[in-house]
A and B are shown apart, each in its own frame.
Chain A
Amino acid sequence: MIRSDVHKGAVLGACLAAAATAGCVQVNAPDEPIEINLNVNIRQEVVVRLQDDARELIEQNEEIF
Chain B
Amino acid sequence: MKKPATIFAAFALGLAVAAGGASAAYAFQDAAAELRATGTVGEQADGYLGTVGSASAEVRAKVDQINIQRRAAYTRLAAERGVTIEEAARATACQLFATRVQPGQYYRLPDGVWRQRNGNEPVPRPAYCG
Contact = CB atoms under 8 A, between A and B. Distances in A.
Q: Does B bind A?
A: yes
A54 B30 contact: no
A18 interface: no
Tier of interface size on chain A: 20 to 34
Interface residues of B, number: 29
B91 A47 contact: yes
A64 B94 contact: no
Contacts of B23: none
Q: Please provide the 4 A-B residue pairs with the shortest distance between their CB atoms, ordered closest to farther.
A: A50-B91, A48-B130, A54-B92, A44-B128
Interface of B: 28-32, 66, 69-70, 73, 77, 80-81, 83-84, 86-88, 90-92, 94-96, 99-100, 127-130
Given A50-B88, A54-B92, A61-B69, 10 more contacts: A44-B127, A48-B129, A50-B77, A50-B81, A54-B95, A57-B77, A58-B100, A63-B31, A64-B31, A65-B70
